[in-house]
Structures are given as structure tokens and as C-alpha cells.
Amino acid sequence: MPKLKEGDLEPESGLADDVDAAIVSVRFDVRREYEEKSGSSDPMLLLMLQGPELDQPIEQAYSIGGVKRWEAQSGGRVVVSAKQPDSHRWNAKSRAGELVERMFALIGGGDRKKGQEFFRARDHYMTEADFYTGLNFHWKREKKSTVGGEEREILMPVAYLGEVKATAGVAAPSLSDATDKLVVLAVGKTEREVKAALLKEPDLRDNTALLNEVFNKNLLGRLEVEGRLAKEGDKFTFKV
């Protein structure tokens, strides 16, 4: 056995790093924990990432700046500037601006203009969720300075892995129908087992609204409160 090196006994942060993950859903919304810390109620670009090395989908937030007074519309699928309604671009110094510039470079193989051609063919502005959905990258944490001079680690793409296509010809069930299926799926399983099983069900794992509700908004807990599910030990059962 090789000798231990400095740092080998330090616990891991638990944050996703050095992983392959596809952008499976996107929304623009206010991140409450960010709002509490910064006092800003500006919406952010929120990417839901899913990959083989992740136990469950994770949501990553990127600031889009506040000068243009962005407002989320169409259920968070789009942001529109209240100050410049015809504007569809991020400030290059915002986290979202840095993210998009990195995507241009990676997808273009180092040629930014070639990367932009790829996105023009997709025919979506960077202010739309569909600009990002389905893109697959290798991601690593990088140190970035904040406006206040602090240093934080941000998950950024470092290699482009292609596109992930949704299942053709199969419509995802509505959130209501998907929730009904989730209740049936949950019976006899722990919360961890439910989440693992959810990601193996094609018609449920492709429902981005459901994934967001389960992994970020505690849908299973709410179903208990509503009386649609109960617990026997650590496993779910139908409410009697």
C-alpha cells in the first residue's frame, strides 16, 4: 500500500466535481438561499444535471445579473428584461455569461465562432431554457471571485460530450399524472429507493417538472402531509 499523502485524510466536500452530466432540465427562478444571503430577488439560471456518477440529479445555479431587471416568464422557461425587452444576452461577467462563453469554446473545439454556429442552428436565445437542455459535458469545480472579493468554487463544463436526446414520440405525462404514478412507485420503498427507481422509469425520469419537485422541493414529504402516502418504519405505504 502506498504511503498516505497530505490531504488523503481530509473528508470530501460532498459537492459534485469531476463528473459527466447532461443538462436534463432548465428553469429561471429566484434561489431562496441566494436571496437570503445577497438580498437580491433576481432570477437565476438553474440547470438540473444528471449523470452516471451522480446518486441523484443536482441543481446548479448561475447568476444572470440584475442591471437589465430580468423577469421569469412562461413558468420559468424564459426570462425577459424589463429594462431592455429586446435584449437576449447575458453580461459576459455574470456567471451565466461565463458559462455560455465556455460552452461556445468547448462545442466549437476551441473556436468560439464555430460554437456559436452550433447554437444558432438550435435556434434558441440564451435567455430560453431550450438553449441549454440536452447538452452533455464533463464538469469540474473552479475557483471564481465574487463581486465582494470572496472566492467560491463553481461547477463549470470542461469538455463537451455531445447531446442527449429525449425519447422520440413519447410525451411526458403531466405533473399530476406523474405524481399519481410516483405514489404507486413509492409504496414499499425508502425515500432513497424511490429516487433511484424514479430515474429508471423512462416516462417519469424525462419529466423535468417531476424531477424538480422530487429532488428540490420535497414532493415526497408533501405527499405525506397531504395524506397520499404514509410511512411504516422508513418505507412508504398508502395512507390507511
Domain locations in the chain?
Answer: 19-163, 175-238
pTM of the model: 0.67
Neighbours of 47 (CB within 10 A): 25
CA 142 to centroid of chain Cα atoms: 17
Cell output for 56: 441523484
Q: Which residues contact 130 (CB under 8 A, 6 or more apart)?
A: 26, 77, 122, 124
- Angle, vertex CA 184, rays to CA 181 and CA 168, nearest 5: 30
- Cell numbers standing for residue 98: 461565463
pLDDT at 198: 86
Better pLDDT: 122 or 5 = 122
How high is the mean pLDDT of the chain? 84
Q: Give me the mean pLDDT over the 137-150 stretch.
A: 82
Say how far apart CA 78 and CA 93 lie, in whole Å. 20
Per DSSP (E only), the strands in 51-177 are 58-63, 70-73, 78-81, 135-145, 151-163
Task: Give dist(CA 183, CA 220) in Å, integer.
Answer: 8
Percent of the chain surpassing pLDDT 70 = 85
pLDDT at position 10: 45
For residue 11, pLDDT over 50 is answered with no
What pLDDT does 210 receive? Answer: 86
CB proximity list for 149: less than 8 A, separation 6 or greater: none
